[in-house]
Structure 1
Amino acid sequence: MALGLLLAAFAGAMVALQTIFNNRTDVHMGSWATTTWVLGMGFLASLVCSLIFEGGRTFNLQHMQPWYWFSGLIGVGVVICLVLGVKILGPTFSVSITLTAQLGFALLFDSMGWLGLEKVPMNWKQLAGVAVIIGGIYVFKFGGKKKQEEVQQPSSALKKSLQQ
């Protein structure tokens, strides 16, 4: 279990890092070119690693449902949506929303047993956990806004004294 937790935490760090790198690439190339470059580099790296570690199993597709072959197309959606989301929302807010949606949909897929997953009953604690995360994102994004606006806008008394 410890290894699973470590790998999941490492994956989260890599998602955040990749999001920042993708954003910097997008500034120079554009969103679709960034997606092409990112997924092309990922394809080459994955192919080399797969051939090294799995050899001939790399191309063994006989016992897999055909629609699973297209998961790379989902990757295109992931990268382009994150690149554009970061452009609009910034990296922290965009990744927060992405990870919350990922958790929520994973919970839905698990609880419904969709896509060949073993059905896991949903309970109120899981829903409360997702709600707490959403609340935390709200507080993170909007919690300090009033104080920031007050700092940026001088008080009316200060405005009057500056005008005199």
Structure 2
Amino acid sequence: MIIGIVLAITAGALVSLQTIFNSKVNEKTGSWSTTTLVLGMGFIASLLMGLLLEGTGMFRLRHMEAWYWISGAIGVGVVICLVQSIKRLGPTYGISIVLTSQLGCALLFDSLGWLGLEKVEFSLTKLLGVMVIVAGILVFKLTKLESAETDQSQEKGLPQE
């Protein structure tokens, strides 16, 4: 279990780091160039690591549903949406919303047993957990707005409340 937690924390850090890098590339090239570069580099890195660690055995594909193959195309949507959300919202706010959406969808898919997942019992405590995260994002955003208003008041020499 500890290894799973460490891997999940590492994945979260890497997603945040990649998202920031992607947004910086997007500033210089554009969304579609960024997506092509990101997914192309990911393909090359994955191919090389797969060959190094698994050899040609990585090409022996086990039986799977045909519609699972669209995962790569979904990756295009992920990169485009992440890059654009970071551009419009900033890294912390954008990633917070992305992760909350990811958690909410995971809860829905688990609870309904969709997409071949083992059905996990839905509970109000699980929903409450997601709602606490949403509340945290709102607190973060509202604090940021309040801070910006205070900064503007100070620049104009207006009295503080």
Shift in CA distance, 43/101, structure 1 to aligned 2, threshold 3 Å: same
Task: Give the Å deviation of 1:97.
Answer: 0.5
CA RMSD in angstroms, aligned pairs only:
1.9
Residue 87 of structure 1: aligned partner? 87
TM-score (norm: length of structure 2): 0.92
Task: Give the Å deviation of 1:148.
Answer: 3.2
Task: Give the Å deviation of 1:153.
Answer: 1.8
Residue 107 of structure 1: aligned partner? 107
1:132 aligns with 2:132: yes
1:28 aligns with 2:28: yes
Residue 54 of structure 1: aligned partner? 54
Q: Which runs of 4+ in 1 moved over 6 A?
A: none
Residue 122 of structure 1: aligned partner? 122
Whichever residue aligns with residue 87 of structure 2, its letter is K
**1: distance between equivalents of 2:114 and 2:143?**
37
Residue 5 of structure 1: aligned partner? 5
Higher Cα radius of gyration: 1
Task: Give the Å deviation of 1:64.
Answer: 1.2
SS of the residue 2:48 aligns to: helix
Deviation string, structure 1 residues 68-112 (Cα, Å, up to 9, x no partner): 112010100000000011111111111000000000001111111
Deviation string, structure 1 residues 119-139 (Cα, Å, up to 9, x no partner): 000100000000000000000
TM-score (norm: length of structure 1): 0.90
Shift in CA distance, 45/154, structure 1 to aligned 2, threshold 3 Å: closer
Task: Give the Å deviation of 1:33.
Answer: 0.1
**2: distance between equivalents of 1:69 and 1:82?**
21
The aligned length equals: 159
Whichever residue aligns with residue 96 of structure 1, its letter is S
Task: Give the Å deviation of 1:21.
Answer: 0.3
Gaps of 5+ in 1: 160-164
1:139-150 → structure 2 map (5 Å cutoff): 139-150=139-150
**2: distance between equivalents of 1:151 and 1:65?**
55
**1: distance between equivalents of 2:127 and 2:92?**
23
Percent identity between the two aligned chains? 56
Whichever residue aligns with residue 6 of structure 1, its letter is V
